[in-house]
Amino acid sequence: MSFDPSPNPHHLYRDPDNGVILGVCAGFADYFGWDRRTLRIVTAITAVFFLPQVLVFYVLAAIFMKRKPSPVYGTGEEAMFWRSVSNRPADTFSNLRYRFRALEERLIRMEKHVTSKEFKLNRDFKDLEGR
């Protein structure tokens, strides 16, 4: 039994093309939708106080994170969609539930209109005008 991989291309990658040293900060920033420069500043400030821990984490992350493939997303809109789905699944589910409820309410109103006597009467008048 084999499982199909997820169609979601949004994964945590190292991004050396946009990175300064090995692309770890750029990869985290891309994954979470943060500003790369801000994350680098926060990392540098943290390294001032906790240099050994930050250095070990950075090196381990650089070793274990895969390098980002060049064409991950087709468009920027697709990237934002997959990032929102991956980072906030509860919000995504809530938004989908809201959309389906709104569609269901719209469908109920349409059914009510189509099955009403007024709709039938208007249709009969249009048929008479067409003759």
The 3-state secondary structure of 40-86 reads HHHHHHHHHHCHHHHHHHHHHHHHHCCECCCCCCCCHHHHHHHHHHH
Give residue 5's pLDDT.
56
Whole-angstrom distance, CA of residue 19 vs CA of residue 8: 23
Q: Which residue has the higher pLDDT, 36 or 69?
A: 36
Report pLDDT digits (tens) over 44-66.
999 999 999 999 999 999 999 88
Q: So what's the pLDDT on residue 7?
A: 61
Give, in order, the Cα–Cα distances in Å from 58 to each of 25, 61, 63, 94, 103: 9, 5, 9, 35, 47
**Count of CB atoms situated within 10 Å of the CB of 16:** 16
CA distance 74 to 71: 7
pTM > 0.85: yes or no: no
Whether the per-residue pLDDT at 127 is higher than 70: the answer is yes
pLDDT tens digits for range 70-106: 766 667 777 777 767 665 666 767 778 888 999 999 9
Q: What is the pLDDT of residue 12?
A: 80
Measured distance CA(27)–CA(12) in Å, rounded: 6
- Give pLDDT, residue 10: 64
Q: Does position 38 have pLDDT exceeding 90, yes or no?
A: yes
Question: In terms of pLDDT, which residue wins out, 24 or 85?
Answer: 24
